Amino acid sequence: MLDNQRVKIRDNFKSRNVEVEFFKSLDEVKNRVLNLISRESTVGVANSQTLKNMMISQELTNRGNTVYDKTFAKNKEESILLKKKALLTDWYITGTNAISIEGHIVNIDHSGNRVAAMAYGPDKVVVVVSKNKIEETLEKAITRARNHAAPLNAIRAGYKPPCIEQKQCIDCKSKERVCYNLSIIEGQFDPERMRLFIVDEEAGF
């Protein structure tokens, strides 16, 4: 990532009350998260390939945090409960589908628990994003979320919407649809609430 690109991103998000920090690796991000969050805090963790690569839920759980991560659920009922509990935590950690250099955070969600927690509920939010998800503009970030992230997430979750074959979103009404919520975070009211951790690695999709 170029220095002038970093400055632009930091300044644009700062003007929207989102603090940006840059990291070389996911390991560095993990250490920062573990230092930032106290062991007494409750933590919601979104279902994210980037966070899975970091093993952050396991690390937090092992050192004593109460963690609500739906991927720990043994059945559907437990998954629903964990998603609800994650909405009222001290911290929420999530990946994202795309950010724009202009300062937007864009996500497409199935049931919407992740975008709900990012928008409101948890006291503090950490958004982890890898460099492959940075787009120049809001429009390009939305295109990335729809045409790239959504089909790959569908495959991961075992759904078969038409975008997998067609390699682009056709705004399907299929039962296999994976995206019912498009969220654009344009900033934060509370400047202490959200941190964006940008990692100079390719991770997630």
Shortest Cβ 153–ligand SF4 spacing (Å): 9
What is the 8-class DSSP label of residue 66?
Answer: E
Question: Which residue in 104, 161, 183, 194 binds ligand SF4 (CB under 6 A)?
Answer: 161
Q: Mask: binding to ligand SF4, 135-154, rule CB under 6 A, as x and -?
A: -----------x---xx--x
182: which 2 tokens? 């498009």
Q: Which is nearer to ligand SF4, 74 or 175 (CB)?
A: 175
Question: Which residue in 45, 67, 169, 185 binds ligand SF4 (CB under 6 A)?
Answer: 169
162: which 2 tokens? 């038409």
Cα angle value 120/62/72 (rounded, 5°): 55
Shortest Cβ 142–ligand SF4 spacing (Å): 11
**Can residue 46 be called a binding residue for ligand SF4 (CB under 6 A)?**
no
**Can residue 170 be called a binding residue for ligand SF4 (CB under 6 A)?**
yes
Q: Mask: binding to ligand SF4, 87-126, rule CB under 6 A, as x and -?
A: ----------------------------------------
Shortest Cβ 121–ligand SF4 spacing (Å): 25
Residue whose C-alpha is closest to residue 194's, from 203, 183, 185, 181: 185
73: left (phi over 0), alpha (psi -120 to 50) or beta: beta
Torsion of CA 54, 148, 111, 186, to 10 degrees: 80
**Can residue 3 be called a binding residue for ligand SF4 (CB under 6 A)?**
no
At residue 94, what are phi and psi to the nearest 5 degrees? -145, 155
**Can residue 178 be called a binding residue for ligand SF4 (CB under 6 A)?**
yes
Place of tokens 């649809």: 177
44: which 2 tokens? 């919601």
**135 three-state secondary structure:** strand
The contact set with ligand SF4 (CB under 6 A) reads 146, 150-151, 154, 161-163, 169-172, 174, 177-179
